[in-house]
Amino acid sequence: MKRDTTAEFQQVLSQCRDIFDKKMKDYGAAWRIMRPESLTDQIYIKANRIRSLQRKKEHLVNEGVEPEFVGIINYSAMAIIQLQLGVVEQPDLEPQQASELYMQVLNDAFDLMSRKNHDYDEAWRSMRISSMTDLILMKILRVKEIEDNNGKTLISEGLDANYFDMINYAVFCLILINEGKQE
């Protein structure tokens, strides 16, 4: 059966946006005070919990891995926005503004996925969710190293490229989970 990656990807992004928008209504743009390094650590916590649950095969907190993948997507989008706008001392975005910035990041992630997916011929569909989780964790470690080097790289992609890759891997994992793929 031929899968429609564009539709599946957009469906996941729509679910993530719904959660982002609802949290904006609940909390406002409080996340705007977070340094990118703090957002990186939040993403690490989410990815580490996913890996832990994949290894243990059971969980004691009544949440599966799906909300954690959504968290990776949303925190990565926030981190990209922080890189673009800089950190502030007080929240400075209205919900509508934040939602527009968020959607621009997700649209950019979608465009990147479309180009890479063409070149890689949907290889992600044959990957294990656990492998993509490991790739997300590796990207986090790369980001931490770049952050520790004050954002400087000699030959490697920068921070934003790694955050975009984390968004796309997390979306792929949610698509596979929605299709019933288990490990």
Is 157's pLDDT higher than 80?
Answer: yes
What pLDDT shows up at residue 2?
65
The string of pLDDT tens digits covering residues 27-36 is 999 999 999 9
Nearest of 82, 104, 72, 103 to residue 168 by alpha carbon: 72
| Token code pair at residue 164 | 């975009």
Higher pLDDT, 183 or 11: 11
If pLDDT is split at 50, 70 and 90, which confidence band does 127 have? very high
DSSP at 33: G
Q: How confident is the model at residue 181 (pLDDT cuts 50, 70, 90)?
A: confident
The pLDDT assigned to 151 comes to 85
The b-or-e profile of 7-20 (16+ CB within 10 A means b, else e) is ebbeebbebbbeeb
pLDDT, tens digit, 9 for 90 and up, residues 63-93: 789 999 999 999 999 999 999 999 999 999 9
| Res. 1 pLDDT band, cuts 50 70 90 | low
CA 54 from chain centre, in angstroms, equals 18
The one-letter amino acid at 82: Q
Range 48-62 average pLDDT = 84
The pLDDT score that the predictor gives to residue 131 is: 97
Between 151 and 177, the higher pLDDT residue:
177
Averaged confidence pLDDT in the chain: 94
pLDDT above 80: residue 115:
yes
Spatial neighbors of 182 by CB under 8 A, at least 6 apart, are none
Q: How confident is the model at residue 6 (pLDDT cuts 50, 70, 90)?
A: very high
pTM of the model: 0.94
Task: Work out the average pLDDT over 133-158.
Answer: 93
Look at residue 183 in the predicted model and tell me its pLDDT.
64
Quick one: what percent of the chain has pLDDT higher than 70?
A: 98
